[in-house]
Chains A and B, each alone.
Chain A
Amino acid sequence: MEVTISTTELLTTDGIPLKQSLRKAERRNKQRAFLLVFPLLLFIFVTFVMPIGDMLLRSVDDSQINSVFPNTFDEYKNWDKGADELPPEEVYKSLFFELANGDKRQIGKALTRMNYAKSGWKSLIKKTTREIKKIVKKGEEPVSYKDTFININKLWADPTYWYSFNQMVKDRSSIYYWNALDRTFDEEGDVVLQDEKRRMYIKTWLRTFKVSVYVTIFCLILGFPVAHLLANLPLRYSNLLMIFVLLPFWTSLLVRTTAWIVMLQQNGVINGILVWLGVISDDGRIQMVYNEVGTLIAMTQILLPFMILPLYSVMRVIPKSHMRAAQNLGAKPVTAFLRVYLPQTIPGISAGGLLVFVLAIGYFITPELVGGKDGKLIGSWIAYHLKTTLNWGLCAALGAILLGIMLIFYWLYNKIVGIDNIKLG
C-alpha cells in the first residue's frame, strides 16, 4: 500500500518558506552565541582535551624504540625462534650499526624502555656500545657480527634477552597498563604477575578505593548534620557557621595538612592531652599519623566542605512544613525523617558523595605528607614515576585507569540516581 503524506509548506507573508526564514533570522544569534563561547571552548580544548588526549596516547605509545632500532626490529621479525636458538646474523649486524651511529640521547631513552621489558638491558647495551665504538674507530669490519657481540659480552648468547624484544616490536603496547596492574609479559609475550617484591599497584589501588569510600562515608556522616543545621538555623547563626565551613577553603592545603601532623603525631597535641589526662601512658602514645589513619582523618577534614555545600543547597529548599506535615499525618519523627526528609536530600547526598569520592580517589598532597609508607594513594605513584623514574608511559596508564574508573562511577551514578538529579548549588 502506498502512503502519501501531503504537506503544505508554510510560507511567510513574502512567500519565503517559513523554516528558511526562521533559520536566517536565527543565524545571527547563533553566530553571536558561538563567538561568545569560542574563547572558552578554545581554552578548554587546549588545556583539557589536548592534554588528556596526549596522556591517553602516551599510555599506549611504544614507537620511540622503533625509531631508534628500525632495521634491527625489521630483521628481528624474520627470526624463526623454533629453528634457531639465537637470532640470525642480520639482526646482530643491524644492531651493530644502529648502536654505532645512533643518537646517544635517543638510545638512552630507548634503553630505559628496554629495561622495563627485561632488567639488565641497559648495562649490557652501554658496555657493548663502548666496545662497538672502539671497533668502528679501528676501522675493522667484523667477520661475524654475532660472534663479535658474544665476545664483547656472553649475555648476547642468552636468548631470553632477545625474547624480550618481542614485546617492543609494535608501535603500540599495552605493557604500561599491565604494569599498572602488577602484571608484565613473559618471554612468550603472555601476561604474567610481576615478581612478588615488585607488586605494589594492586595493593595501592585497593587502598585508594578503601580510603576514598571511607572518606566519602565519614564526610557524609559528619557533613549531614552540619548541612542540616546550616539550612535550618536563623540566618544570623547560619552565616557564622557557613564561615566556619568555608574557612578551610581560605587556608592553604599545605598549612591544613601540616596542622594535622602537629595534632596527630606521637608527640603531638592529641597524644599530649591524652597522656596528660591519663587516658594513655607515656609509652602507649597512639600512632595516628604517617599511616592510613592519618590519611583518613586529614582527607575527611579537607574534603568535608565538598560534601556540606551540595547537601546544604538541597536542604535549604526543602520546606520545613514537610517534616511537620509528615508528623501531622501520624509519622514519628524518625519515620518522618527517613521517609520524607532523607529521600529529598538524595540529590545532595549523591552530588556530595560523587564529588568527594572523585576528589579523594585522585588525591595526592595530603596522603603523600601524612600517609607515611602505608597511607600512600595511587596519586603518589603517579607523581613518583612522573618526577623520579620518568616512566611517563606508566604514569599515563595509571592516570588513564583513574580516569576510566571515574567514568565508570559516573556512568553507574547516572544509571542509579540519574545525572539530572545532581544538585551542586
Chain B
Amino acid sequence: MNDTSQSFVKFEKIDKSYDGEVLVVKNLNLDIAKGEFVTMLGPSGSGKTTTLMMLAGFETPTNGEIFLDTKPISKIPPYEREIGMVFQNYALFPHMTVAENLSFPLEVRKISKPDIKEKVQKALDMVELGNFGTRFPAQLSGGQQQRVALARALVFEPRLVLMDEPLGALDKNLREQMQYEIKHIHDRIGITVVYVTHDQSEALTMSNRIAVFNDGVVQQLSTPDILYEKPENSFVAKFIGENNTLNGVVKEINGSSCIVDLDNNQGTIKALKINVNEVGEKTQLSIRPERVSINDGNNEENSFTGKIEELIYLGDHIRARLDVCGNNEFIVKVPNEGNFSHKEGDTLNLSWNSEDVRALDI
C-alpha cells in the first residue's frame, strides 16, 4: 500500500507556508491507494484543510510535489484536475435548482443534453433525492443539501473525491446517519475519498486509514483499530478516544517493554516501550479506560488502588473518576452488570495488563 508505484495520490515532501514565517504543513509524505477512504483528522489549525486545498488546487505547495495517478499536478489548474469536492457549507449555487447544480459540471464538460439528464437522475437517485430536481437549495433541509453536494461532487465521475468537514453543520443524529450513507456510497462505487474532519468518531466510523494531523505534521497514519489501540505518541493517544495518563521516568528497558518509576514515588509500572529510547528519559504512560479492571487485589503485575472521586451513571456503563497514583482524572468504565455497589470515597483495587500500557513521549 505504501509502495510508490501503487499509490494513487502521493504527497512528497510537501511544505506549505502562507507568510514565509510559519509552516502550516511540514514535510508531508502521504500515499493514498486507489479506492481507499483516507481521513485527515486533527484539531483546527493542524494543516489538514490546507493539505486538502493543495490537493484540490486552490493552494500551491511551497515545496514538494503532489502526484495524482503518478503525474505531478502542481501545474494543473483546479478545473482540469477532475477532482470532486464537497465543501464545508456545501457551496450549492443558490440561483440554480438542484438539477441545474448537478448539471453544471456536466455542461461545462460539453456532455450531450440527454446524457446529462440521465446522469443527473442517476446521481439524485443514488442519494435518494430523485424527486427533488426542481427544488432550489434553499428549499431543502440541511441533510438534503448535504446529499445534493455529495451527488454534485460525484456526478461527473471524478478520479477522486475530497470532503472538507461535510457533516459539520448537521445535528448529531443526522450526522451519524450521513456517515453511514457516505460510507455505503464509497463501498458501492469504490471511489477514492480524502476526508477532512476534526471529529474522531466520524473518522473511526468511515475510514480505511486515518492520518492524524497536529501542528502541520502527520502524527500517525494507520487503520482506525491500530490508531486506537496502538497510538505511537501521546498526541494520538490523547486525541483518539479516552485515555488515562501517568507521568514518570524510565528506569529499565527490557527489549520491547520497560519499567517506569512514577513521579512523586507513586509506584512502578511495567509498560510497552513505544517511543522512549533510554533509561532516565521522562515518559507519559497511556492506558485506555476500558483496559483497566477492578478486582479484589490479587497478584497481577500492575496492581494499584484508586479512591472514587465521582461516579456517573451512563446506562450501559458506570463511569468512575478515580484518584490513581496522584492523577485524579483517572477514568474507569465499569460495565453495568448490576453488582457495582461502591460509593464515592470508596477505594477500589485496580489492575491492568502491561501490554495495555504504552510508554510514550511527554
Contact = CB atoms under 8 A, between A and B. Distances in A.
Given A335-B108, A339-B104, A328 B84 contact: yes
Interface string B86-100: 011101011100000
Nearest to A331: B108
Interface stretch (A17-25, A39-47, A221-229, A316-324): A316-324
A344 B95 contact: yes
A36 interface: no
Contacts of B152: 329
Nearest to A333: B79
B83 interface: yes
Interface string A311-351: 00000000101101111111111011001100110000000
Most chain B CB within 10 A, of A325, A326, A332, is at: A325
Given A328-B56, A330-B105, A331-B108, A322 B79 contact: no
A330 B87 contact: no
B156 interface: yes
B93 to A, nearest CB: 5
Contact of B104 (A319, A324, A329): A329
Given A330-B108, A330-B109, A324 B156 contact: no
Interface string B73-85: 0000111111111
Nearest to A318: B94
A330 B91 contact: no
A321 B87 contact: yes
B58 interface: yes
29 contacts: A319-B89, A319-B91, A321-B87, A321-B91, A322-B91, A322-B93, A324-B56, A324-B58, A324-B85, A325-B85, A325-B87, A326-B93, A327-B57, A327-B78, A327-B79, A328-B78, A328-B84, A329-B84, A329-B104, A329-B105, A330-B80, A330-B82, A331-B105, A332-B108, A339-B104, A340-B104, A344-B93, A344-B94, A344-B95
A291 to B, nearest CB: 42
A328 B79 contact: yes
Given A328-B57, A344-B95, 8 more contacts: A322-B93, A324-B85, A325-B91, A327-B79, A328-B56, A330-B80, A331-B108, A343-B95
Interface of A: 319, 321-322, 324-333, 335-336, 339-340, 343-344
Most chain B CB within 10 A, of A319, A328, A343, A344, is at: A328
A366 to B, nearest CB: 36
Contacts of B87: 321, 324-325
A340 B93 contact: yes
A328 B52 CA distance: 12
Nearest to A325: B91
A344 B94 CA distance: 8
3 smallest beta-carbon distances between A and B, as pairs: A325-B91, A329-B105, A321-B91
Interface string B48-71: 000000001110000000000000
Contacts of A322: 91, 93
B85 A328 contact: yes
Nearest to B109: A330
Nearest to B95: A343
A313 to B, nearest CB: 16
Nearest to B149: A325
Contacts of A333: 79
A322 B94 CA distance: 10
Contacts of B79: 327-333, 336
A326 to B, nearest CB: 7
Contacts of B81: 328
Nearest to B105: A329
A118 B266 CA distance: 118
A344 B81 CA distance: 26
A324 B79 CA distance: 9
Contacts of A339: 104
A11 B87 CA distance: 52
Interface in B178-201: none
A280 B78 CA distance: 48
A330 B93 contact: no
Nearest to B152: A329
Contacts of A324: 56, 58, 78, 85, 87, 91
Most chain B CB within 10 A, of A321, A322, A330, is at: A330
A335 B104 CA distance: 11
Contacts of B80: 330
Contacts of A329: 79, 84, 104-105, 108, 152, 156
Contacts of A335: 108
Nearest to A340: B93
Contact of B83 (A319, A328, A340): A328
A136 B58 CA distance: 98
Given A321-B87, A321-B89, A326 B94 contact: no
Interface in B85-129: 85, 87-89, 91, 93-95, 104-105, 108-109
A339 B95 CA distance: 10
A319 B91 CA distance: 7
Contacts of A340: 93, 104
A1 B79 CA distance: 67
B104 A331 contact: yes
A92 to B, nearest CB: 74
